[in-house]
């Protein structure tokens, strides 16, 4: 490791800043620990230094996998220019995670570097794309790369109403009984520990019984929103609806999908509504294209399901069920989903249309796995959900 002219301490400080720009949560405490570690170790053993710093400075799997590239970029100079470019674009972590968005804006000769930067980044987006099967030459899968402006689809009042409604629904769904017992005035079991302590003054005679009960516990919520072309008219207010649900929730995750699946929880939690929509339209490139519901569900099952779902999860899927994947695949993925989640709710805007029956082949295949199938074409229909969801 080079203790160059700047001095090893300054160089390490620079490395920490480099990590911070790439989304690592490292502060002065970590810098100090790292310095102590390097001072104690053999200065010529770069392998040990790398392994040690990796253990000390990473905090999750994504960081663990990116660390080596970042380490090389800083200490051995490879890919440095690309990393700087990402930084110059501002908000480095976000950019680093989705390099393909800004790489299109680069002149052609810089593509190679951009590719290097992409290698630096958590390759989640590309992986999603691969899993969702984009790039296959099927006409209806063509991604509409034009960025659809989400703002003009429905009037602002409707959007606000959808959000309020969603918050109300969120409250209905929020709690279910827990298995853990807590002290309570009216409980169904005797809390021995507290009873004995309370009755010590009475010579241990359990004169006063203290009870415990099963409190209500928060339910997990996972939203999967279809934002493909056929759902275009509804997307704007369904996303507001999602924002309302996510906003007041302790544990919730939201995803949108068209031909691939994108995680949008962080964006929906953004306080500034306009900024959230801007970030969203950037992320949801291809908004308004074809649909691959089964592909998106597969991506979800493979990648996120283990972390997002447990036996208390309710999955809400909003889609019209027009799928380009074969219906058997959809049924298979829904079956996988159902094994992990407690309830599956499918909201279908088309259900509000007079004379609609779920005959789209994908929809018919999905019916056996759905616990609650309801309309979502208007605010009234969403309001009607309250009773349905409370029963789940």
Partner 1 sequence: MKLDYKALQEDLRRTGYIADDGLSMALALAIGLQRPLLLEGEAGVGKTAVAKALAAALATRLIRLQCYEGLDANATLYEWNYQRQLLAIRAHEREQRPADEIERHIFSADYLLRRPLLEAISQPVSPVLLIDEIDRADEEFEAFLLEILSDFQVTIPELGTVAAQSIPYVVLTSNGTRELSDALRRRCLYSYLDFPDEAKELAILRARLPGIDQRLGEQIVRFVQLLRRQELEKKPGIAETLDWASALIGLDIRALDANAAALQASLICLLKTEADLKAVPPEVAARLVGKVA
Q: Which stretch binds partner 1 (CB under 8 A): 87-95, 192-200, 285-293, 355-363?
A: 192-200
The torsion of the CA quartet 192, 194, 200, 206, rounded to 10 degrees, works out to -40
Q: Does 211 bind partner 1 (CB under 8 A)?
A: no
Q: Does 200 bind partner 1 (CB under 8 A)?
A: yes
Helix (H) or strand (E) holding 300: none
Closest CA to 296 of 365, 245, 209, 226: 226
Task: Give the separation between CA 359 and CA 330, rounded to whole angstroms.
Answer: 15
**Cβ of 325: how many Cβ atoms within 10 Å?**
20
* Residue 199, SS3 per DSSP: coil
Residues in binding contact with partner 1, number by CB under 8 A? 33
Q: Does 189 bind partner 1 (CB under 8 A)?
A: no
Q: Does 88 bind partner 1 (CB under 8 A)?
A: no
Q: Does 204 bind partner 1 (CB under 8 A)?
A: yes
* Residue 262, SS3 per DSSP: strand
For the chain, how many helices (H) and strands (E)?
Answer: 19, 11
- Least distance to partner 1 from the beta carbon of 57, Å? 8
Q: Does 145 bind partner 1 (CB under 8 A)?
A: no
Q: Choose which of 59, 156, 183, 248 interacts with partner 1 (CB under 8 A).
A: 59
Q: Which stretch binds partner 1 (CB under 8 A): 135-143, 153-161, 173-181, 360-368?
A: 173-181
Q: What is the token pair recorded at 35?
A: 């310095």
Q: Choose which of 3, 9, 10, 25 interacts with partner 1 (CB under 8 A).
A: 25
- Least distance to partner 1 from the beta carbon of 104, Å? 31
Look-up of token digits 């801007």:
278
- Site residues for partner 1, 221-260, by CB under 8 A, read none
Cα-only R_g, the chain: 26
Going from the C-alpha of 168 to that of each of 21, 89, 171, the distances in angstroms are: 39, 39, 5
Q: Which stretch binds partner 1 (CB under 8 A): 39-47, 74-82, 169-177, 367-375?
A: 39-47
- The footprint of partner 1 (CB under 8 A) covers 25, 33, 36-37, 40-41, 47-48, 51-52, 54-56, 58-61, 63-65, 178-180, 192-193, 196, 200, 203-204, 306-307, 310, 336
């Amino acid at each position: 490791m080079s203790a160059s002219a700047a001095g090893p301490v300054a160089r390490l400080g620079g490395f920490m800043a480099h990590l911070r720009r790439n989304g690592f949560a490292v502060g002065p405490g970590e810098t100090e620990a790292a310095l102590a570690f390097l001072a104690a170790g053999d200065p010529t053993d770069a392998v040990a230094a790398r392994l040690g710093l990796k253990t000390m400075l990473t905090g999750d799997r994504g960081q663990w996998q990116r660390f080596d590239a970042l380490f090389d970029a800083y200490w051995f100079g490879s890919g440095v220019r690309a990393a700087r470019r990402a930084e110059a674009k501002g908000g480095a972590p976000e950019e680093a995670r989705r390099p393909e968005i800004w790489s299109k804006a680069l002149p052609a000769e810089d593509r190679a570097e951009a590719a290097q930067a992409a290698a630096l980044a958590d390759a989640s987006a590309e992986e999603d794309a691969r899993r969702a099967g984009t790039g296959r030459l099927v006409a209806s899968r063509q991604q509409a790369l034009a960025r659809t402006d989400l703002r003009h689809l429905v009037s602002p009042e409707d959007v606000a109403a959808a959000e309020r409604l969603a918050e109300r629904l969120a409250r209905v769904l929020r709690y279910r009984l827990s298995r853990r017992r807590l002290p309570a005035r009216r409980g169904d079991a005797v809390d021995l520990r507290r009873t004995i302590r309370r009755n010590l003054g009475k010579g241990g005679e359990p004169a006063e019984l203290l009870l415990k009960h099963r409190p209500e516990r928060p339910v997990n919520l996972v939203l999967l929103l279809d934002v493909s072309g056929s759902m275009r008219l509804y997307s704007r207010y369904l996303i507001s609806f999602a924002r309302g649900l996510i906003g007041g929730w302790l544990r919730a995750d939201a995803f949108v999908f068209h031909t691939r699946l994108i995680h949008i929880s962080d964006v929906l939690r953004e306080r500034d509504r306009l900024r959230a929509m801007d970030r969203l339209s950037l992320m949801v490139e291809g908004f308004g294209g074809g649909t691959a519901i089964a592909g998106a569900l597969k991506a979800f099952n493979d990648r996120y399901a283990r972390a997002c779902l447990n036996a208390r999860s309710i999955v809400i899927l909003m889609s019209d069920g027009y799928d380009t994947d074969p219906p058997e695949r959809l049924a298979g993925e829904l079956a996988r989903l159902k094994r992990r989640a407690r309830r599956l709710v499918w909201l279908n805007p088309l259900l509000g249309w007079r004379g609609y029956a779920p005959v789209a082949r994908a929809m018919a295949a999905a019916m056996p796995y759905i616990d609650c199938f309801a309309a979502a074409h208007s605010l009234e229909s969403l309001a009607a959900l309250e009773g349905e969801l409370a029963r789940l």
